[in-house]
Structure 1
Amino acid sequence: MSTPTISIIIPTLNEAAHIQVLLNWLKGHSTAQNIEEIIVVDGGSTDQTIELAKRSGVSTLSGPRGRAHQMNLGAKSAKGEILYFLHADTLPPKNFDTTILRAVAAGHEAGCFRMRFDTKNPVLRFFAWLSRINHTLCRGGDQSLFVTKQVFFGNRGFNEDYLIYEDSEFIRRLYRNTDFKVLPRQVVTSARKYRQKGWLRVQYHFAMIHLKNYLGAGPEELYRYYSKNLL
């Protein structure tokens, strides 16, 4: 049997400051034959995001703003057997592709990497350390996500009612239906929101969003809270 290939799906909105760095990193730290394609799905950028992506030779799609919608759009057009969802400000580890392929070959149809922030802030380093724990409370989109196409569509993809928290909601469904794997390597993600808003404020409000979701809040209530406190 031939080795499956990976479609990398990157949702963007005004990511000109990061997209070129990420695309260069992906091409320089993976094996070409493992990567079917890189798809940048833009949600209405007003900067140079799309132009930079096209200049890099990757596939580009445009659609309504909303990461869930954008990632579903990318998945529907993807040709690879494995989908790898990645934020524009997150760099996966070197040879991430072979690590993912080995995990899938071992029977893990969905999973993520551990995470660390690009900061020495001790509190953020501690929260990043928690990403090694294989529990839904320790999951988030910044850790990236790999999932076989069959499992992705079998679980109905991302719920487009969620304008935030879409990663966590989908991953919880994957935990119920797959042997979810936390890979023992780290992505490096930007702490830019913590720098902009203050680490204590951001961490507190993210914790409140988790609590509200646990207590039964729906996607509209979660987004109202996020908009009021973190936008």
Structure 2
Amino acid sequence: MKPNNPSISIIIPVLNEEKLIGKILKHIGQTSSKTSIMEVICVDGGSRDKTISIAGLFGAKVIPSKKGRARQMNLGAQNASGEVLYFLHADTFTPNNFDQLILDAIKEGYESGCFRMRFDTKNPILRLFAWLSRINHTLCRGGDQSLFIKRNLFHKTKGFNEDYLIYEDTEFIQRLYKQTKFKVLPNHVITSARKYREKGWLKVQFHFGMIHLKNYLGAGPDELYRYYSKKILN
């Protein structure tokens, strides 16, 4: 680790991710400098496949948790030792030298931020929505873009709101925008469009848009989850 460089703890919430978690963990090693990553923590929400064993094989620390991404990420943060926390979804691939890009932003005085995003698809509509991730506004934020945050700021802001079973990333980032200067890094993470392929891209994008609108109009976490369960899960 370079002198005066803060260390990074990567936190990945997982649940039945045996098909991807090994690829993600291998890719993390290939795209980082190996000098600033203190640990990779996979917080497991009750996987019934080989997720836990695969994560262990790739050197990740596995922590059992109750199901719920907000709860899992908060638990990961509680057990993290790094000065910078980096929250990453289990189907999102990091850009080259992502750790140094994060540390450079920290040195510039930013306490939180994310990367731009691309989907692993050529669908023009999804590519358009991914293009919007370059805009530094809460309407263009989401967990698929990953999130870095200084650990002391995470604890000061009390982390993710565990009342949210969906939308927990966006709700947290909206609070960060009000309290600190948020950095959108120009490099891209690549995230899976698997939910769009499974459910239909038009259906999923429309209903995610409605969830954004409902949140803007004041809907709480229970109402958002009921809508998500009815319109997307079913």
- Equivalent residue runs for 1:122-137 within 5 Å: 122-137=124-139
The residue type paired with residue 120 of structure 2 is D
What is the alpha-carbon distance in structure 1 between the residues aligned to residue 177 and residue 101 of structure 2?
20
Q: Aligned residue pairs: how many?
A: 231
The correspondence for 2:89, drawn from 87, 90, 93, is: 87
Q: Offset at 1:31?
A: 1.2
Q: Offset at 1:57?
A: 1.6
- Equivalent residue runs for 1:75-154 within 5 Å: 75-154=77-156
| Normalised TM-score (structure 1) | 0.99
Q: Offset at 1:2?
A: 2.0
Kindly provide the CA deviation profile for residues 95-143 of structure 1, in whole angstroms up to 9, marking residues without a partner as x: 0000000000000100000000000000000000000000000000000
Task: Kindly indicate whether residue 221 of structure 2 is the aligned counterpart of residue 219 of structure 1.
Answer: yes
**Aligned-pair identity (%):** 65
Deviates more, 1:111-120 or 1:23-32: 23-32
Which residue pairs with 1:60 in the alignment? 62
Which residue pairs with 2:166 in the alignment? 164
Q: Offset at 1:55?
A: 1.3
What is the alpha-carbon distance in structure 1 between the residues aligned to residue 68 and residue 145 of structure 2?
19
What is the alpha-carbon distance in structure 2 between the residues aligned to residue 57 and residue 206 of structure 1?
35
Greater than 3 Å deviation, 4+ residue runs = none
Kindly provide the CA deviation profile for residues 186-214 of structure 1, in whole angstroms up to 9, marking residues without a partner as x: 00000000000101000000001001111
Task: Kindly indicate whether residue 21 of structure 2 is the aligned counterpart of residue 23 of structure 1.
Answer: no
What is the alpha-carbon distance in structure 1 between the residues aligned to residue 195 and residue 48 of structure 2?
20
What is the alpha-carbon distance in structure 2 between the residues aligned to residue 178 and residue 99 of structure 1?
19
The correspondence for 1:11, drawn from 10, 13, 23, is: 13
| Normalised TM-score (structure 2) | 0.98
What is the alpha-carbon distance in structure 1 between the residues aligned to residue 23 and residue 228 of structure 2?
28
Q: Which runs of 5+ in 2 are unaligned?
A: none
The correspondence for 1:184, drawn from 163, 183, 186, is: 186
3-state secondary structure, aligned to 1:16: coil
What is the alpha-carbon distance in structure 1 between the residues aligned to residue 216 and residue 172 of structure 2?
14
3-state secondary structure, aligned to 1:80: coil
Q: Offset at 1:158?
A: 0.2
The residue type paired with residue 221 of structure 2 is P
What is the alpha-carbon distance in structure 1 between the residues aligned to residue 229 and residue 136 of structure 2?
29
Which residue pairs with 2:231 in the alignment? 229
Which residue pairs with 1:205 in the alignment? 207
Q: Offset at 1:58?
A: 1.2
Q: Offset at 1:168?
A: 0.2
3-state secondary structure, aligned to 2:35: helix
Q: CA RMSD in A?
A: 0.7
The residue type paired with residue 194 of structure 1 is Y
Q: Which runs of 5+ in 1 are unaligned?
A: none
3-state secondary structure, aligned to 2:19: helix
What is the alpha-carbon distance in structure 2 between the residues aligned to residue 195 and residue 141 of structure 1?
19
